[in-house]
Amino acid sequence: REMKHAFCAIFIFQTRSRAVKKIIEQCEVDAKKCVGREKEIPFFQGEACRVCACEMRDIERYDYEVCKNRIEEILNSTFLDHKVVVAEGESGMLIFVIEYKGSEENAAWFQRRLEKVVSIAKIFQNIRLRIGAGKVVKSAEWGRVGKKQAIRNLSDIYTDNSPVNVKENYTEYIQYWKDENDVESYMRRLYVALRSGMEENKKLCAEEFEEYLKQETRPIEQCRSDTHAIILYLVRKVKSKEKMEKILVPEKALDAVYRSKSKAALAEVMRETCEAISTILEEEQKEGSSLSRKVNSIIERDYRGKISLKDIGKELFVNSSYLSRVYKKETGYTVTDAINSYRIEKAKEILETGEYRVCEVGEMVGIEDPAYFTHVFLKYEGKSPSDFMNR
């Protein structure tokens, strides 16, 4: 058991190490792409502005340029009397800058305008957006200060009930991992909930994950790493290699984790992955139940002759250790117990007729050795075959 716990700890540590490494590599790539970008953008100098980071959720469905152009049109129509510049665009995210005209355009006013943008995009263009916006900055600082704030506010959006986040006061990130025991405990509880199929348990786990994401002091890099580890843990519980690979194919769970620009996007990935795994676990349980019924049918058919776990496994083309594990999980009994129990039930029916001797009854139910038959009968009935017949 200690070795198992040690293995789990090593697995999670290695998973997170790989996750952090991948995040760092992606950040370095993004940083290289952004070198000199600020100088290349035509901009209004000497004015105040707000910078916004926009996550486009339907980038796979539409062409990127189509999404970008449609969003730009919506921004211009919503901010009619303002200058709007789409500054950057890549990897499903747009950075755009909007002119600031006066104190009446406070955070609440700006949030309402952005919520209108999100609503129009969804209703008329069928494009779903999440937008984070920072405080008012000088236009010369849009890339150094404004962009950083906008991306952080986007990353802190943890639910699609509030797809816009305009925040001007910031708390420092606390760079720490969620407690290891909490993560491991959550993984196990989530797996049990998915396997049970009980909607209430799954809902509680989803709410707990949302509470985890909504902590403002928890950076999205940490959330990505923890989400990555949780999904890998769940996938390892899937028995079918083919179904496991289906969940992890490119552009699915793990890639989607690292493409997420907001915590809400991570929640969406987790929700979709949990739904897929829940369906697979349900299918596996049905397959297990079907397997148990087949085993019982073979026992009922062949109990009079020589029959063993290995024989049944060969007939069903199933590994005997896997068969034993599934049958015990489904019925609570081992296959050997099931065979002996069925034989004894049949022996009781024959003994009650009083027409056969004990040794003959043993042979009739597949146990040729009279001493062993007595031993097995005593084990399952608490009395010998002779005592049972004399009853």
Residue 365, pLDDT score: 92
List pLDDT tens digits, range 355-368.
888 889 999 999 98
Residue 217 scores a pLDDT above 80: yes
- Residues 218-252: tens digit of each pLDDT: 899 889 988 988 988 888 877 666 666 666 654 46
Give the total residue count for the chain.
391
Q: Report whether 335 contacts 324 (CB < 8 A).
A: yes
CATH 1.20.210.10 assigned to domain 38-166? The reply is no
- How far apart (Å, rounded) are the C-alpha atoms in residues 251 and 254? 8
The ranges assigned to domains in the chain are 2-16+175-282, 38-166, 303-391
Cα 186–Cα 325–Cα 329 angle in degrees, nearest 5: 60
Confidence of residue 333 (pLDDT cuts 50, 70, 90): confident
Position 118 scores a pLDDT of 96
Amino acid letter, residue 234: L
Overall average pLDDT of the 5-31 stretch: 54
32 versus 371: the higher-pLDDT residue is: 371
The whole-chain average pLDDT of the chain stands at: 82
How many alpha carbons lie under 13 Å from residue 305 in its C-beta half-sphere?
Answer: 5
Is residue 310's pLDDT more than 60?
yes
User: Which tens digits make up the pLDDT trace of 270-290?
Assistant: 998 898 888 888 777 766 667
* Across 95-108, average pLDDT: 90
Q: Give the pLDDT confidence of 27-76 residue by residue, as tens digits.
A: 555 544 443 344 444 556 668 999 999 998 866 667 788 888 999 999 99
Q: What is the pLDDT of residue 36?
A: 39
User: Could you read off the pLDDT of 2-11 as tens digits, one per residue?
Assistant: 454 454 555 4
Write down the CATH number for the domain with range 303-391. Answer: 1.10.10.60
Q: Is pTM, for the whole model, over 0.75?
A: no
Least confident among 33-47, 71-85, 87-101, 112-126: 33-47
**How far apart are alpha carbons 164 and 154 in whole angstroms?**
8
Instruction: Report the range of poorest mean pLDDT among 151-155, 284-288, 374-378.
Output: 284-288
pLDDT(347) > 70:
yes
CA dist., res. 222 & res. 143, Å (int): 24
